A and B are shown apart, each in its own frame.
Chain A
């Protein structure tokens, strides 16, 4: 049986809400079938409220073992390093995080805010928010680049805004079933099994991308075309399985016509949402995408794009997702 303690810092609860959408296993299965001993969670409460604060202190002092410490939300350090913008159970949340991360066997950051600061850390970062072990792409964050939990692991980052419930539950099940050693991490401490492929992988618009055919308008315009050219879709530059493991068992943002906004990458929200950057492809000289698919150079991309357009069959200029 693995004990889990789940805290929220500068959070919207979105990852918790996403977690509740899980199937195979459901949250109920996790508790009843996989024997996760949920010591405390902000929303999934047990009726034993009276001991909760004592429990936090027992965990923080190492008197009660915590196998998995899950943190959701940014670590809020302001104002002036005091952490007083986020007070929980009579002390700044950052103090709880420092103590609990130091005692837990494994520390898991759920969602962008906990991984690297997320939306609260967007310029001008009014609360001095950061992630557990990264600040945006820079190693460090709140716990520092050298942090290792008691099991000898860095913080396991499960990013996304929010993270998909499967990314959360499968990692929890892996940890609970003794497969911690199988969780290979990339350079951003993301489980490679989820974050090696791209959002682009499995996108239903790939055939339009192949022939460089653009979606021109939202709404009925998204019955055809690829969102990369005009609407800032970051699918080819974003590591996620969003089109392999569908959302809510049904779809994904790019499938319905919403450009990927890159929310599993540390820079999200990109360009700090400066004017002209939302749902708009950033271009050089008005036509060439400033960013090309990961691993491509501009010249080879342009050459390939020109050829692709020449080769484009008639169907690639027509609606495909039709009534």
Chain B
């Protein structure tokens, strides 16, 4: 048996730089440790500040998901201040955040994921020359238009929010804008342009409606070969190529999923509360663990810091959460190895377990029984998981599937805006209160817990999808989702472990990775490899 230690040093953005150490036995990853290597201290900055400070600070946690940060920060305050939300405000918030995600889907695919598909490692595939032709950075025939057209959906964001990234136009009680007729018609025109030019012409090779008619994995495979346009579209090619090079074969992950859900039915969340949240969601929440569905309950979340560079080894609920950083040199002496905390969820009968967040988790929640009429009810990924199980391919397909779905939703919400009705209801600024706000950023569940005392922020805790996915081992020694997903990954060439990049990128986990390969016995460095990330 050959043992190799790969010190994957994914220099991640957003949640910080990330190092991953991997042990490889006989060409397969045996264990992995993810080490977030940057700390910025936003939760500390927010202590004692204006109750609305989170609307300005939390979008700056992540410039990629800033609109999602704003969305959940506004809802956390809505809950704490017990505001009323006019239906128009809910619609505008939905539209804006969904447009951020529509921007992120192609950017992530072309700029991050697909460039790995051109790797010489796959030169033996007959489809490799076509992958190079399409996906080569900057000059690929699909790369350029995919990246440039991704700026279109956020033009719609700017029409309502002024700019993207980093507007703070969602406030307790609604939104700051009051669009005019031309704002709505222009938004529709921009969205239709993006749908026609990228989503249908380049990505799908068919109408949005045709793609969304796929209900099973067999449907998807039949769709690929239904006609030339679909077969040769980026989606058709992606499916054929990934199956050819085996991306359906690894990166399974833990098989337990969390979606906190997002987008509210305007008539059902006029008075945002924690209790009323699940039922008001359009994109459903839900936990799927141990083969069973349960309803999402924020009270079951804990953040374990046993292996994180914070004082102590507690596992607190975010309302009681602490952020007390320590010098990583001291932390390492205590067995700590990451700036990420380890979010865990108390699943009935299973106890505190890690959960995978992201588009696949959302698709799993959407396949659960019991959807109300206003809710996403989509069996496709339930069937895909039954048919072929989770993998790098399935995780990517889940993300891309949402482009068609969210386009339809945004289009419908634009039609529902009533220009003659209010967009904001001035709230009572309560000095004390607690709030929980959550959403689904492009890459997964994103939540704020805020505690207000005497007109100031007493505690503010943010749990990001990246923390759910890249978090380190918990107090019980259970690895986090990406640590677990890397296990079992075949590495054909330790000098160029592109497979690890596929797994990391399938989580869209804001990673820029440098891989250091060491011979496990001699400690001699074999290679270094950088995996970019973060769109």
- Residues in chain A within 8 A of chain B (CB atoms): 8, 10-18, 20-21, 23, 26-28, 31-32, 40-47, 49-50, 52-54, 74, 76, 79-80, 82, 84-90, 93, 118-120, 122-124, 126-127, 129, 161-162, 217-223, 242, 247-258, 261, 263, 269, 272-279, 321-323
Contacts and interface: CB of A to CB of B under 8 A. Distances in A.
Nearest to A252: B162
B138 interface: yes
Nearest to A268: B56
- In this complex, the member of A14, A42, A126, A219 whose beta carbon has the largest number of chain B beta carbons within 10 angstroms is A219
B174 A218 contact: yes
B166 A32 contact: no
Nearest to A127: B41
A257 B164 contact: no
Contact of A120 (B41, B55, B530): B41
Interface string B516-535: 00000000000111111111
Interface stretch (B274-282, B321-329, B386-394): B321-329
B177 A222 contact: yes
Given A252-B163, A258-B161, A322-B180, A13 B62 contact: yes
B532 A13 contact: no
B426 interface: yes
B450 to A, nearest CB: 14
Contacts of A74: 40
B63 A14 contact: yes
B167 A273 contact: no
Nearest to A111: B63
A12 to B, nearest CB: 4
Contact of B327 (A17, A82, A253): A82
B343 interface: no
A42 B11 contact: yes
Given A52-B514, A218-B175, A254-B162, A273 B169 contact: no
A32 B148 CA distance: 14
Interface stretch (B152-160, B196-204, B259-267, B397-405): B152-160
Given A50-B528, A275-B455, A251 B159 contact: yes
A141 to B, nearest CB: 17
A20 B39 contact: no
A12 B14 contact: yes
Contact of A256 (B45, B162, B534): B162
Contacts of B527: 50
A322 B178 CA distance: 9
B163 A220 contact: no
Contacts of B45: 119-120, 122-124, 126, 273
B151 A21 contact: yes
Interface in B173-219: 173-178, 180-181, 186
A44 B41 contact: no
Contact of A50 (B88, B157, B496): B496
Contacts of A82: 327
Contacts of B424: 217-221
Interface stretch (B112-120, B245-253, B288-296): B112-120
A188 to B, nearest CB: 20
B513 to A, nearest CB: 8
A219 B456 CA distance: 24
B49 interface: yes
B169 A11 contact: no
A253 B166 CA distance: 10
Nearest to B426: A217
Nearest to A28: B144
Given A88-B11, A275-B455, 18 more contacts: A12-B61, A13-B13, A13-B62, A20-B535, A27-B148, A28-B144, A47-B118, A53-B514, A53-B530, A85-B325, A87-B38, A127-B41, A218-B426, A248-B155, A258-B168, A274-B49, A277-B50, A322-B180
A93 B86 CA distance: 46
Contacts of A272: 49
Interface in B326-358: 327-329
A168 to B, nearest CB: 13
Nearest to B178: A220
- In this complex, the member of A126, A254, A255 whose beta carbon has the largest number of chain B beta carbons within 10 angstroms is A126
Interface residues of B, number: 105
B503 interface: no
A176 B9 CA distance: 32
Nearest to A219: B424
A14 B165 contact: yes
Contacts of B171: 218, 279
Given A10-B40, A86-B16, A273-B57, A162 B11 contact: no
A interface, over-half SS: loop
Contacts of A86: 16-17, 37-39
A32 B534 contact: no
Contacts of B163: 242, 247-248, 251-253
B111 A256 contact: no
Interface stretch (B20-28, B223-231, B415-423): B415-423
A42 B512 contact: yes
B294 to A, nearest CB: 33
- In this complex, the member of A27, A32, A242 whose beta carbon has the largest number of chain B beta carbons within 10 angstroms is A27
- In this complex, the member of B9, B147, B181, B528 whose beta carbon has the largest number of chain A beta carbons within 10 angstroms is B528
B177 A257 contact: yes
B469 to A, nearest CB: 17
A88 B55 contact: no
Nearest to B38: A86
B17 A88 contact: yes
A323 B138 contact: no
Nearest to A27: B147
Given A13-B13, A20-B147, A219-B86, A251 B38 contact: no
Contacts of B327: 79-80, 82, 84
B137 interface: yes
Interface in B421-435: 422-426
Nearest to A257: B176
A281 to B, nearest CB: 14
Contacts of B502: none
A221 B178 contact: yes
A11 B464 CA distance: 16
Given A14-B166, A80-B327, A222 B176 contact: yes
Contacts of A258: 161-162, 167-169, 176-177
Contacts of B495: 50
Contacts of B534: 13, 16, 42-43
A84 B52 CA distance: 31
- In this complex, the member of B66, B143, B148 whose beta carbon has the largest number of chain A beta carbons within 10 angstroms is B148
Contacts of B242: none
A167 to B, nearest CB: 13
Contacts of B531: 45, 49
B80 interface: no
Nearest to B501: A49
Contacts of A27: 147-148
B202 to A, nearest CB: 15
A85 B13 contact: no
Contact of B181 (A254, A277, A323): A323
Contact of A14 (B9, B66, B111, B150): B66
Interface in B420-474: 420, 422-426, 455-456
A14 B177 CA distance: 23
A269 B46 CA distance: 12
Nearest to B511: A42
A45 B530 contact: yes
